[in-house]
Amino acid sequence: MLRTIVISSLLIIAAIAAETGLQTGIGFSHLAQKYVLFEEDTLSASSEGRFFSEGEIGEQFGNHNLKGNGMLSIGTETFWSRLKGKWDWTGPQNLFLISELSADVREPYSEDATPGYWKGTGYLRVKKRWTEANGSAKLSFETKDYSGQSSYSYDYTLSKIKFDFGFPFFGEDELSLGYQFAFRYAPDTTEANYQRNNFYSSWHRFSGGNYIRGDFEAERRNYNRGDLTGNHWRVYIDIAPMIALGKKFTLAPEFTAEGYRYDMATAVYPNREWYSVTGGIEWSFSPFVHSGFGPKYSLSHAGSEVETDNFQELSLELTFDWLRYRKVWLDILLEPGIRFYDTEPSEDFGYYSNFAFVEVSAIGSYWIIPRMRIDSIVSYSPEWHDVEDDDITTLYLSINLEYEFLR
């Protein structure tokens, strides 16, 4: 309780001190989730009203730049606050130092709700630029302390150190190489402790109005379980060119592949691969409105270890984006398709029969008046299986209304 009061006081002080960055208002949010399986409905819904205040302040002293941000939300169901501070320094010969610390507190009033938590994060980054190259080193941490324990909420500390180096590859191309080591420690559940090594590579090339991006990542993860369970290699590849077809049309195909190889493959931890190819065309109606469409083919393969992970998908992706600052923001995805399994699932996995599906998602914000905004997130995913009793439908709906009476 004392920790909550102290951090809340600091947030209020930061908001009041931020003369031009203060935003204060009231809000209302509603969350609904529905899951339909075997003609049985599971519906959960919750609503909450709240008072919120957020402020930002910044000062520059020579080569030093300081910024602070405070947020306070007092709701009918949950208390939430955040305090963040950032410092950056510009040195000689393109040398930069950046540091950030933040603290979050979230506390529900009901004992039956998801446990509250205290979360702290921070990092220190050193950057150096040369004529044609750049490099950086970043040391960061994240710690989370829950007010209650469960299989999904446990205290942990995550520490990471990352190195990046970028340089020209061919002409004006840029090739980036990176390495990161991470270690997570969970004192109450050693099953969640791991060491992680990540190797990154990214390539960008511009040529006139055309562009191509290629990303590669290899990860090695070792768990502290006393055996080989869960230890694995993961490889991820993504290649996405963009080819201009005039002023309004852009050809935007994409290829993605991801694979897992476990030291001890089991039905729970199977070796598997995922491949996806999309052939898309993007259309710019105006500087604010964009649309896209294209066929998509996906392949999942896990061998004989998990037959339910062996399937193919054919679908059509349709997208629509509308962005006007402080007026409207809308992002819509519609993807109808069909999935075919390589083999007939056993009776234990009956609901893995072939099916047609539609993925519908939308994220949007609309400013009713300059001080009032409504935000919404919608996700709707029905599945129609060969076996009618296996049909599944999921629905997620979030609505948030805010009014700022001081800004």
Q: Is the dihedral of CA 339, 342, 344, 346 positive or negative?
A: negative
Mean pLDDT of 150-177: 87
pLDDT in tens, 373-396: 999 999 999 999 887 777 888 999
pLDDT in tens, 106-155: 999 887 777 899 999 999 999 999 988 999 999 999 999 998 766 667 89
Domain ranges, ordered by start, for the chain: 2-80+87-93+109-115+127-133+147-152+165-406
Closest CA to 383 of 397, 395, 365, 399: 395
- The pLDDT score that the predictor gives to residue 98 is 97
- pLDDT above 90 (res 91): yes
CA 254 vs CA 204, 275, 356: distances in Å: 14, 11, 23
- The pLDDT score that the predictor gives to residue 5 is 46
pLDDT in tens, 286-332: 989 999 999 999 999 987 777 778 999 999 999 999 999 889 999 99
Give the count of beta carbons closer than 10 Å to the beta carbon of residue 103: 20
CA 188 vs CA 106, 143, 149, 157: distances in Å: 21, 14, 9, 11
pLDDT in tens, 24-76: 888 989 888 876 665 556 777 788 898 888 888 888 999 999 999 888 899 99
CATH of domain 2-80+87-93+109-115+127-133+147-152+165-406: 2.40.160
User: The whole model's pTM is what?
Assistant: 0.85
pLDDT in tens, 332-385: 999 999 999 887 766 665 567 889 999 999 999 999 998 899 999 999 999 998
Mean pLDDT of 85-104: 96
